[in-house]
Structure 1
Amino acid sequence: MSNSANSNLLLMQRAVKQLRLEASVRRIKVSQAAADLKHFCLQNAHNDPLLMGVPSSDNPFRPPKSCALF
C-alpha cells in the first residue's frame, strides 16, 4: 500500500470510530429534556439574581454614595 492509501485508511478508521462513539451516546426525547429543564428552572428560581434581584449590599455595580462635608 502507498502512503496516501495508508493515510486514507487511517482517516476512514477514525471516522468509523467517531461515528460508533456518537451512535452509542444515550439520548432522551426533546419533550423529556424540556420538562427536566423547566423543573430545574422552577426549582432554582429563588436563587436566580435576574429574577429576584441583587441586594444593594451585595451589588458590586451599585452607584457610589456621594459624601458631602459642610
Structure 2
Amino acid sequence: MSNNNAVGSLAVAQKAVKQLRLEASVRRIKVSQAAMDLRNFCLQNATKDPLLMGVPSGDNPFRPPKSCTIF
C-alpha cells in the first residue's frame, strides 16, 4: 500500500514540476506596458464598440417592433 502512495506522490510531484516549468516559460511584460497596450487597443477600436457608439437602428435585433395597421 505504501508503494502505491509513493507512486501516486511521484506522479503528483511530476505534474506540479511540469506546471511550474510551463509557468516559468511564459513571456511576461510590465504592468505599465500592458496597461498602455490595452489603452491603445481600446482607443483604436472605440469606433467599432457598440457600447460606446450605439447600434444602428436597422441592425438592432432588440428594437421595439413597429406597429402595423390595416385600413
TM-score, with length taken from structure 2: 0.91
Deviation at 1:40, TM superposition (A): 0.3
SS of corresponding position for 1:68? coil
Whole-angstrom CA distance in 2 between matches of 1:66 and 1:46: 32
User: What is the match of residue 34 of structure 2?
Assistant: 33
Deviations 1:12-62 (A, max 9, x none): 111111111101111111110000000000000000011111111111011
User: What is the match of residue 4 of structure 2?
Assistant: 3
Number of matched residues? Answer: 70
Q: Give the partner amino acid of 2:18.
A: K
Moved over 3 A (4+): none
Whole-angstrom CA distance in 1 between matches of 2:66 and 2:18: 62
Q: CA RMSD in A?
A: 1.2
Q: % of aligned pairs identical?
A: 74
Q: Does 1:22 align with 2:23?
A: yes
